[in-house]
Amino acid sequence: MTNGEDSLKLSNQLCFPLYTASRLVTKCYQPLLSKLDLTYPQYLVLLVLWEEDQVRLSDIAVKLQLQSNTLTPLLKRMEELKLIKRLKSSEDERSIIISLTEKGIALKKEAEWIPESLGEKLNLSAVEAKQLYQLLYKLINSAE
Amino acid sequence: MTNGEDSLKLSNQLCFPLYTASRLVTKCYQPLLSKLDLTYPQYLVLLVLWEEDQVRLSDIAVKLQLQSNTLTPLLKRMEELKLIKRLKSSEDERSIIISLTEKGIALKKEAEWIPESLGEKLNLSAVEAKQLYQLLYKLINSAE
DNA sequence: GATATTTGTATCGTGCACGATATAAGTGAT
DNA sequence: ATCACTTATATCGTGCACGATACAAATATC
């Protein structure tokens, strides 16, 4: 972007808008998700499970790029909310299989309007959203 | 992006790469910042102060889009690390003025190589970085 | 087949982030 | 001056995120 003296200016750093945008988008979800009594990371877990039920904890960890020490308590809270079940795998006793409960499955219908609702909050055109999407994935894949 | 059935797919959501990219970039900073005994939000506060010393807590809050209940303990920890001073404003006894200590000022020199070092970790071209930067700011400004 | 290594999950400690709420200082209207 | 109102910061409680570490099940090695 720039070199030398200005490199430490907040306005010249990519890190800052990334950090701010991420928190801001999470914040946009908050009022929508609180109606479903969900937090943002819990919603991400459900997105995984709505696509494919019966997933190992370690597979969720890979998909969401989260570690076991983050996921374990998060999933335990979701279990307390009766959204998911945590069962040991019969094939490998070390693995925990996460599956949706009836309540977790039913929640999908209630969540279907969320993406659209969020799209309205963020004033990006379809082209811009796609561009941003691609750049972010390039960034994610570039740094391992 | 897409409508109907697929809208809840993780891979179709802008929120997820944003969230992941932000955590990933923070993680890239971590080894660099730990050498200076700093966390990422602490580094952001220093970026603000290196640009302009003697800033009110509330002004830092606006610049970093953080709330007082996040900043207060964060700044107290930085005070314990002898990086900053927290003094009540003489003009308005409600305000806290944050200023750099000698140690805080000296740290700027040690941090100057960080932006460049991070640029190497993230495999984005200058054009892509600028594009991403602009899209993120558009997003931030669009949603208030 | 006892031992070493790897893998999957959990535990512990620290530091954000933020909603809700409290408190004290300043401001304004009566 | 009094009382409502606003503003600046702090406190409290909850939920991530992650480094370090522990531990048990599975696998590999000898």
Give exposure, A109-135, as e/b (b: 16+ Cβ within 10 Å). Answer: eebeebbeebeebbebeeebbebbbeb
Query: What count of CB pairs under 8 Å joins A to B?
Result: 181
Which residues of chain A have a CB within 8 Å of the CB of B67?
none
Using CA atoms, how far apart are residues B103 and B55, in angstroms rounded to an integer?
A: 17
Give which of A18, A29, A65 to mutate to test B binding, by max B Cβ within 10 Å.
Answer: A18
Using the beta-carbon criterion (under 8 Å), do A1 and B50 form an inter-chain contact?
no
For position B143, what pLDDT does the model report? Answer: 72
Using the beta-carbon criterion (under 8 Å), do A124 and B108 form an inter-chain contact?
no
In chain B, where the domains are located = 14-143
Q: What is the mean pLDDT of residues B116-128?
A: 88
For position A1, what pLDDT does the model report? Answer: 46
Using the beta-carbon criterion (under 8 Å), do A16 and B44 form an inter-chain contact?
yes
Question: pLDDT (tens digit, 9 = 90+) per residue, A46-85?
Answer: 999 999 999 999 999 999 999 999 999 999 999 999 999 9
Question: pLDDT (tens digit, 9 = 90+) per residue, A91-114?
Answer: 999 999 999 999 999 999 999 999
Contacts of A106 (CB under 8 A, 6+ apart): none
Using the beta-carbon criterion (under 8 Å), do B28 and A143 form an inter-chain contact?
yes
Residue B66 approaches strand C within 7 Å at CB:
yes
Question: pLDDT (tens digit, 9 = 90+) per residue, A7-33?
Answer: 777 777 899 999 999 999 999 999 999
Using CA atoms, how far apart are residues A82 and B105, in angstroms rounded to an integer?
A: 52
**List of long-range contacts for B49-53, beta carbons under 8 Å, 24+ apart:** B49/B84, B49/B98, B49/B99, B49/B100, B49/B104, B50/A8, B50/B100, B50/B108, B50/B111, B51/A8, B51/A9, B51/A10, B53/B99, B53/B100, B53/B105
**Which class is domain A14-143?**
mainly alpha
Residue A85 has phi, psi (to 5 degrees) of -120, 145
Question: pLDDT (tens digit, 9 = 90+) per residue, B24-67?
Answer: 999 999 999 999 999 999 999 999 999 999 999 999 999 999 99
| Distance CA B131 to C1' C9 in A | 40
